[in-house]
Amino acid sequence: MIFLKKILTAFFGILVGIINGTVGAGGGLVAVPLLKSGGLSQKESHSTAIAVLLPVSLMSGISYIYAGHVTLSDAVPYIIPSVIGAIVGTFLLYKIPTEWLKKIFALFMLYAGVRLFLR
């Protein structure tokens, strides 16, 4: 049973990496529910997803830059505001009641899905 759990964890890790590398930060939309189903609390799932996706996003970004699909001059204007937003978000995560967080996350998932579907 432990072996199966390790295999499933590796499979879902690969899936999160593929989704993140293909469609952007969408890996978090998959990672949070998977982590939650693995026994983590809602807030632990969000925090852990970010920690997991940091190296994944970094590798995806480097790969896209290396392949010439992204220029640093296009990315730089977004880096500082995004880092500020991440700091604020980290502070807010543990201030927001869990029930609100679930609803906010569900609405974001719904919005993202509808927006992608309609484009």
| Chain segment 46-61, per-residue pLDDT in tens | 888 888 878 888 888 8
Q: How far apart are CA 44 and CA 9, in angstroms?
A: 17
Token representation of residue 83:
């880092």
Radius of gyration of the chain (CA): 16
The model's pTM is: 0.72
Predicted pLDDT at 55: 83
Q: How far apart are CA 91 and CA 71, in angstroms?
A: 31
CA–CA distances in Å: residue 113 to residues 33, 43, 106, 110: 15, 22, 11, 5
Q: Are 42 and 14 in contact (CB under 8 A)?
A: no
| Chain segment 89-117, per-residue pLDDT in tens | 889 988 999 999 889 988 988 988 898 78
| Chain segment 16-49, per-residue pLDDT in tens | 778 777 766 666 777 888 888 888 898 898 888 8
